[in-house]
Amino acid sequence: WLNLIGNVAPMLGLMGTVLGMIGAFFKIVETGQVDATSIAGPIGIALVTTLLGLGVAIPALTFFAILRNRIDAITSEAMVICQELISTFRPAGRE
């Protein structure tokens, strides 16, 4: 789930960015001029959604990588132990 969340969150942030920018451009079309106060809100929303998407994705992908590396280490250790057990109980002359 962490991998999925980490990959989807930036896309949701980007979607919010696109929607915010579309809103800003609609404000420009409505008024016929670029007025900073009318487009500041939609642009602010765009920036906040980008920040939130990254704020979710970065920790999720970090924890996913940590957990995946830990699982890989445990799996490797288990394989070594299994190989040692197999070689210990293998009948003599069979290798």
How much is the pLDDT for 80? 95
How much is the pLDDT for 71? 96
Residues 39-61 have a mean pLDDT of 88
Q: Are 17 and 36 in contact (CB under 8 A)?
A: no
Rounded to whole angstroms, how far apart are CA atoms 50 and 16?
7
Rounded to whole angstroms, how far apart are CA atoms 13 and 3?
16
Residues 56-80 have a mean pLDDT of 93
Residues 29-48 have a mean pLDDT of 85
Examine residue 58 and state whether it is found in any structural domain, yes or no.
Answer: yes
Examine residue 94 and state whether it is found in any structural domain, yes or no.
Answer: no
How much is the pLDDT for 66? 92
Examine residue 84 and state whether it is found in any structural domain, yes or no.
Answer: yes
* Stated pTM of the model: 0.67
How much is the pLDDT for 45? 87
Domains in the chain, number? 1
Mean pLDDT, rounded, of the chain: 87
Examine residue 57 and state whether it is found in any structural domain, yes or no.
Answer: yes
Examine residue 95 and state whether it is found in any structural domain, yes or no.
Answer: no
Examine residue 82 and state whether it is found in any structural domain, yes or no.
Answer: yes
DSSP state of 94: -
Examine residue 12 and state whether it is found in any structural domain, yes or no.
Answer: yes
Domain, as residue range, for 53: 2-89
Residues 53-58 have a mean pLDDT of 89
How much is the pLDDT for 74? 97
Examine residue 54 and state whether it is found in any structural domain, yes or no.
Answer: yes
